[in-house]
């Protein structure tokens, strides 16, 4: 058997911790890719993987992704991720969450957890009874940052779209710029509202037909079917639903100058960033443009450790640096003839001391 740490996904993780708790039935993997900039921070996913090795691969890829995202957001945090391997019925018990909290605590702060797919705010509250290394907890709403990261992510995407329009189209405003949005949930809906205020022309699509129609009426936006959105002729295509949507066929069919949206892992495979570049479509690397949520979550965690509320102004200030970071990526891309996703990865690697 080849050692699993020689697999490409392992990518020099500092630590991969396997947790088995017989009493509660918990099986979890906690992967810490890098603590170069601070504790490895990233959420916990609760998922049933028919093959446990897929859970390990998810933890490794997501944890490296968090290293890059946190570094490019200028946060004093490294990257980590946990995966709880659920059974086919997705049984989740208080005992399991307690055992998971103990495991996180046992790492002494090298890993800081939060919500991800399958884990709710209430679950994180349960975990927080056993360890202080938790974020994404409810906030009191008195002007403190934290809580639902969606609106913060949306604000960063909106600023990133404006930066892309400036860079690619030479326009200082998004007035009359046509943006096609795929997904109008927490993030996409927020982006649509911010763009509408600035007079952008919007086309929306979502598989929740009633919700998207209501948003379309509210904003005076055109609504098309989910099948039509990726071939809509527009200035900006903004993916805010699923990952892995940019593949050979969809990239060939895009009718846009810019791709800039919040969905995680938009490129189906590594070479698809180059495919966009070769088509002359400006791409905003997903983990750079969608960092608003983690910036808020991180502020909540770091402030709580100092015993004070996180300030929304500080969070907004940090999010407002996303356009400059994107511009840095695009300028290097233009200068070197390298696709923006490759440039961003190289910058992130340098920031975590692996340049
Ligand atoms: P959400 O569930 O609130 O919204 C997603 C929307 O996409 C839903 O309305 C859903 O109906 C729609 N959708 C699903 N499949 C679709 C399809 N095929 N075509 C059109 N619409 C479709 O989720 P969200 O929090 O808005 O997150 C959206 C994306 O952004 C996800 O990829 C998420 O991983 C990523 N992201 C979110 C945050 C955050 O702070 N919420 C942060 C970073 C990245």
Atom of ligand 1 nearest to the CA of 293: 40
Return the pLDDT at 142. Answer: 60
150 Cα to the center of ligand 1, angstroms: 10
- Average pLDDT of 299-310? 85
Return the pLDDT at 145. Answer: 66
| pLDDT at residue 12 is higher than 70 | yes
| pLDDT at residue 1 is higher than 60 | no
- Name the residue at shortest CA distance from atom 29 of ligand 1: 263
Return the pLDDT at 141. Answer: 61
263 Cα to the center of ligand 1, angstroms: 6
| pLDDT at residue 307 is higher than 90 | no
135 Cα to the center of ligand 1, angstroms: 21
- Average pLDDT of 281-308? 92
Among 152, 231, 262, the mutation site with the greatest number of ligand 1 atoms within 8 A of its Cβ is 262
**pLDDT more than 70, % of the chain:** 97
- Name the residue at shortest CA distance from atom 30 of ligand 1: 263
Return the pLDDT at 46. Answer: 96
Return the pLDDT at 238. Answer: 98
Per-residue confidence band for 310, with pLDDT thresholds at 50, 70 and 90:
confident
- Name the residue at shortest CA distance from atom 25 of ligand 1: 186
Query: Tokens 């630590």 belong to which residue?
Result: 15
pLDDT digits (tens, 9 = 90+) for 123-178: 999 999 999 999 888 876 666 666 778 899 999 999 999 999 999 999 999 999 99
Among 45, 75, 212, 240, the mutation site with the greatest number of ligand 1 atoms within 8 A of its Cβ is 240
Return the pLDDT at 136. Answer: 81
242 Cα to the center of ligand 1, angstroms: 6
Return the pLDDT at 4. Answer: 77
Q: Which residues are catalytic?
A: 81
Return the pLDDT at 7. Answer: 78
220 Cα to the center of ligand 1, angstroms: 22
- Ligand 1 lining (C-beta closer than 6 Å): 149-150, 153, 182-188, 205-208, 226, 240-243, 262-264, 290, 293
Among 155, 186, 263, the mutation site with the greatest number of ligand 1 atoms within 8 A of its Cβ is 186
243 Cα to the center of ligand 1, angstroms: 9
pLDDT digits (tens, 9 = 90+) for 51-103: 999 999 999 999 999 999 999 999 999 999 999 999 999 999 999 999 999 99
Atom of ligand 1 nearest to the CA of 291: 43
Q: What is the residue-averaged pLDDT of the chain?
A: 94
Structural domains in the chain, sorted by start: 4-64+76-128 (3.40.50.10860), 150-289+323-351 (3.40.50.720)
Q: pTM, whole model, 2 decimals?
A: 0.93
């Amino acid at each position: 058997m080849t050692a699993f740490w020689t697999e490409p996904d392992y990518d020099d993780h500092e630590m991969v911790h396997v947790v088995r708790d017989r009493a509660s039935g918990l099986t979890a993997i906690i992967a810490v890719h890098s603590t170069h900039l601070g504790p490895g921070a990233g959420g916990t996913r609760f998922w049933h993987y028919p093959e446990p090795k897929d859970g390990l691969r998810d933890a490794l890829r997501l944890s490296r992704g968090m290293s890059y995202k946190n570094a490019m957001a200028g946060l004093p945090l490294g990257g980590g991720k946990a995966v709880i391997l659920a059974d086919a019925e997705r049984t989740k018990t208080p005992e399991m969450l307690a055992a998971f909290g103990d495991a996180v605590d046992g790492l002494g702060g090298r890993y800081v957890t939060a919500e991800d797919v399958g884990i709710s705010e209430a679950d994180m509250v349960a975990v927080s009874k056993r360890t202080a290394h938790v974020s994404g907890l409810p906030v009191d709403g008195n002007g403190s940052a934290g809580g639902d990261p969606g609106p913060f992510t949306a604000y960063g995407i909106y600023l990133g779209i404006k930066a892309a329009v400036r860079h690619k189209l030479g326009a200082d405003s998004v007035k009359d710029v046509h943006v096609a949005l795929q997904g109008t949930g927490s993030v996409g809906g927020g982006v649509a509202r911010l763009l509408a205020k600035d007079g952008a022309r919007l086309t929306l699509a979502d598989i929740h037909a009633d919700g998207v129609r209501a948003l379309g009426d509210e904003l005076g936006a055109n609504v098309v079917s989910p099948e039509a959105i990726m071939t809509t002729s527009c200035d900006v295509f903004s993916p805010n639903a699923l990952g892995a949507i940019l593949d050979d066929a969809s990239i060939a069919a895009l009718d846009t100058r810019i791709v800039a949206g919040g969905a995680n892992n938009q490129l189906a495979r590594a070479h698809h960033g180059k495919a966009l570049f070769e088509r002359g479509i400006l791409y905003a690397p997903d983990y750079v443009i969608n960092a608003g949520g983690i910036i808020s979550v991180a502020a909540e965690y770091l402030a709580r450790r100092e015993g004070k509320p996180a300030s929304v102004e500080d969070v907004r200030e940090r999010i407002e640096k996303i356009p400059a970071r994107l511009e840095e990526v695009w300028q290097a891309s233009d200068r070197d003839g390298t696709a923006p996703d490759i440039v961003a990865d190289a910058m992130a690697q340098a920031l975590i001391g692996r340049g």
